[in-house]
Structure 1
Amino acid sequence: MSFMNSKLKIYTFAILSSGMFLASAQTKTTAVKPSTETSKSGKVVPTNLKWSERMLLSEMNRFPESWMLDFSKSPKWTYPAAIVLDAAEQVYANTGKKEYYDYISSFGDKLVKEDGTIVSYELEKYNIDLLNSGNVLLYLYEKEKKEKYLKALQTLRLQIDGQPRTNEGSFWHKKIYPNQVWLDGLYMGMPFYTHYTKDFTTGADATKAYDDVVMQFDSVQKNLLDKKTGLLYHAWDESKEQAWADKQTGLSPNFWGRAMGWYGMAMVDVLDHLPKDHPGRASIISYIKSFSDAVIKYQDKKSGLWYQVLDKPLANGNYEEATASAMFVYTMIKSVNKGYLPKSYKAAAKKGYDGIIKDLITVDENGVVNLNKCCAVAGLGGKPYRDGSYEYYVNEQIRSNDAKGTGPFILASLEFEK
């Protein structure tokens, strides 16, 4: 056992014993005080590691069990943990440190019962958010071949078959949000759908599934793109019935940073699994370019960061937001590394990445890394009703160390470290 690992385990025991995690989860900054044992022996997170590993260790420090990621109070099948664990898979591949694999594996152990049922998951809700954590199970099944993971994966794949759709074939975001397509849903569902198809589907069924995935992006480009700015609106209501929907277009009123971030990550992650000879690859790569061109136009020239509401940087209450900034950086640097974008786009990605480290990252005395100014959550409709107004977006809770920011930051760091 490495010295670092033993320190981490001592600290994990201390935090679980004292109940400090629950207290820290209720604070806004979530900075965790070092235990007595740790402070005597040095830093919890060594500062000589790469940023990817430093942030992963910091997340493991804040959330000693992987199901706790993003401040979960009890084991629940939800999407944010999977983003950090997706990044952890790559950190493990780079370092070979078993504690990272164990952290990923514990998520499956805790959330999937021996008979393959998933804790807290309800298929009949047809919530596309709940497909994202299936990516963790695809990884674990490849590694461990546990029958329970296969059964759980098959259940999640069944959801895709029953997911309600618009007339054109776009997936509704949730059954409780009829006729609505949200940018978020492309990230939540499409990388899983594509990866599952690659691993388990063959022949005409695979071709049909890949075509379906590409059509989701084609439909979004057609229905949610603003041709003037090149940005995409957060959501579209085909029925035009929602109070937030424009009565002529059905579009929501604003360009929310993270919604665009979800869309960018969806595109680059889907291409990891879409066959090299599929004709839809060219379309998605063209969408990545137009997406990146639009995003760069709204990048702050001084800080390199992006705002919560992308096109209104000077409006009252707007702020440079961490999750969207990390997602844009990841989308662009991964696209450069993969050859989807020319190398010239690396400059904008690097400016954004440097801005995150300079203005949004703080490091505690114990070495724990914090990502600040994360929008905790934003959506449309529901109860209480979210109207998609500018005032709505800038007044949602801001917090530190949201998994929707720390995960993309680790992923972006890994791309820069290649």
Structure 2
Amino acid sequence: MLCDLTLILVTLASVVLARPQSYAVWAADSGIARGQGNGLDTRGRAIVSYEHGEFQWGLRQLYELTGNQTYFHYIVEGVDNIVFDNGTVHGSYTVTDFVLDPLRTGPTFLYLYEETGKSKYKLAADIFRGQLNAHPRTAQGQFWHKLKYPNQGWLDGVYMGEIFYAQYTSRFQPDNTTAWADITSQFQLMFENTIQNATAPNNTGLLYHGYDFSHKQVWASPDRGHSPEVWDRALGWFSMALVDILEVISTTNPGHNTILDILRTLAPRIRDAADPATGAWWLVITQPGRAKNYFESSGTAMFVYALLKAVRLGYVVDNDGSIVAAARKAYAYMTENWVVSNSDGTMNWLNTVIDPQVGSLDTTGDFDYYVSQPTNLNDLKGLAAFVLASLEYERLQN
């Protein structure tokens, strides 16, 4: 009897500790177990957070793939923590702050409206859409990243604002040609103002973190006002925005080809910027191998997601297989170096550089600035990106 009981306990323990075969499921379940991405901050207060929106996008895909209601219920819980029954968005969100970051939760509002029909989610989405009507812009028409950063466009902001803008337009204003042209312009202006030119030092042909159209910031270049370095996560946000927007904007819309051309320009350059030995990407891509630089996990995961999705959906033709091979190599490095198994069956995620300090271009924006910021254990920006990268990798495997 004792031997039988011991066997049962050992068996139960192995079930508890056994991790899912899917890294996407393992990462998502670990985040849920820690209460991450549920519309609350670490003190249990409501917060409208872009990284929660990023995580919810991964959970939505997992729900649609697996049918596991846990993911859907967690999405609902997260949004209900920041949206009152009358549709008011709370959790420190204020329209007149004019910040693009909170709008990343907007796609979840639209999704829940479609799934449940509850008007509060539509009303919440309307509030976000109303912000864009009054959001300040540069003279060229680029949304400022934040009101407190006048005339600054950041790569991050395109992921935060334009996916929601496009999804809202597709659902409620599909014939609004002005809106579609505006959405396309946001991508085009960002690309043109931040692309490294042939004469740039440490030229990768990729995109600087952001630009100041007024040229007033200490870091603003004389030509276009761009910042001095290519930061991996900023480029990662923009790369994910490219592949996600192309699923929303119709192929008959002229903006589709404009955005597609940007993706096709950047994808092989992103591939080529990976470290040849490891396959990962440096925190500061323009300074590979420099002392204090390191391989950063959130940007690497974002690139794997964007590259694999671009090939899977036929946006980028990978004739020689080098883009998929690069993503495979990077993914292997991620799982070997940044995933740590815990005794409770969850996983930890390593090497994601923190925000908000490193996300801001309100200081020097130079190499020393980026590498001075610490990394964060289980940072949701990186964990959510790993969920997304794993979803694409597992689709590739299957």
Please tell me whether the aligned partners of residues 47 and 82 of structure 2 are also in contact (alpha carbons under 8 angstroms): yes
Aligned in 2, Cα 1:361/1:412: closer, same or farther, shift over 3 Å?
same
Q: Secondary structure at the match of 1:290?
A: helix
> Which AA in structure 2 matches 1:155?
I
Match of 1:111 in 2: 82
Counterparts of 1:7-406 in structure 2 under 5 Å? 41-42=13-14, 44=16, 46-63=18-35, 66-68=38-40, 71=42, 73-119=44-90, 120-203=92-175, 206-228=176-198, 229-343=204-318, 344=321, 345-377=323-355, 378-382=358-362, 386-406=363-383
Distance across 2 between alignment mates of 1:270 and 1:232: 18
> Which AA in structure 1 matches 2:196?
D
Per-residue deviation, residues 142-192 of structure 1 (Å, max 9, x unmatched):
111111111111010001111111111111101111010000001000110
> Which AA in structure 2 matches 1:379?
G
Distance across 1 between alignment mates of 2:308 and 2:37: 30
Q: 1:337 Cα shift?
A: 0.5
Give the length in aligned residue pairs: 376
Distance across 2 between alignment mates of 1:191 and 1:39: 46
Q: Secondary structure at the match of 1:66?
A: coil
Q: 1:315 Cα shift?
A: 1.2
> Which AA in structure 2 matches 1:286?
D
Dislocated runs of 4+, deviation >6 Å: 37-40
Q: Secondary structure at the match of 2:96?
A: helix
Distance across 2 between alignment mates of 1:170 and 1:283: 16
Per-residue deviation, residues 350-369 of structure 1 (Å, max 9, x unmatched):
11111111121111122211
Aligned in 2, Cα 1:272/1:151: closer, same or farther, shift over 3 Å?
same
Q: Secondary structure at the match of 2:219?
A: coil
> Which AA in structure 2 matches 1:52?
A
Distance across 2 between alignment mates of 1:65 and 1:163: 26
Please tell me whether the aligned partners of residues 43 and 366 of structure 1 are also in contact (alpha carbons under 8 angstroms): no
Query: Where does the alignment leave 5 or more consecutive residues of structure 1 unmatched?
Result: 1-36
Q: 1:249 Cα shift?
A: 3.1
Distance across 2 between alignment mates of 1:63 and 1:318: 31
Q: 1:202 Cα shift?
A: 3.5
> Which AA in structure 2 matches 1:81?
H
Q: 1:342 Cα shift?
A: 1.5
Distance across 2 between alignment mates of 1:38 and 1:332: 42
Aligned in 2, Cα 1:250/1:97: closer, same or farther, shift over 3 Å?
same
Aligned in 2, Cα 1:59/1:274: closer, same or farther, shift over 3 Å?
same
Match of 1:415 in 2: 392
Please tell me whether the aligned partners of residues 379 and 388 of structure 1 are also in contact (alpha carbons under 8 angstroms): no
What TM-score do the two structures reach when normalised by structure 1?
0.86
Query: Where does the alignment leave 5 or more consecutive residues of structure 2 unmatched?
Result: 1-8, 199-203
Distance across 2 between alignment mates of 1:371 and 1:38: 27
Aligned in 2, Cα 1:350/1:179: closer, same or farther, shift over 3 Å?
same
Distance across 1 between alignment mates of 2:143 and 2:32: 34
Q: Secondary structure at the match of 1:67?
A: coil
Distance across 1 between alignment mates of 2:10 and 2:165: 43
Please tell me whether the aligned partners of residues 43 and 365 of structure 1 are also in contact (alpha carbons under 8 angstroms): no
Please tell me whether the aligned partners of residues 244 and 252 of structure 1 are also in contact (alpha carbons under 8 angstroms): yes
CA-atom RMSD in angstroms: 1.9
Q: Secondary structure at the match of 1:236?
A: strand
Aligned in 2, Cα 1:52/1:381: closer, same or farther, shift over 3 Å?
closer
Q: 1:105 Cα shift?
A: 0.5
Identity %: 34
Please tell me whether the aligned partners of residues 166 and 238 of structure 1 are also in contact (alpha carbons under 8 angstroms): yes
> Which AA in structure 2 matches 1:393?
Y
Q: 1:380 Cα shift?
A: 3.1
Q: Secondary structure at the match of 1:181?
A: strand
Please tell me whether the aligned partners of residues 31 and 37 of structure 2 are also in contact (alpha carbons under 8 angstroms): no
> Which AA in structure 2 matches 1:339?
G
> Which AA in structure 2 matches 1:376?
I
Q: 1:248 Cα shift?
A: 4.0
Aligned in 2, Cα 1:65/1:219: closer, same or farther, shift over 3 Å?
closer
> Which AA in structure 2 matches 1:225?
I
Match of 1:28 in 2: none
Q: Secondary structure at the match of 2:234?
A: helix
> Which AA in structure 2 matches 1:168?
Q
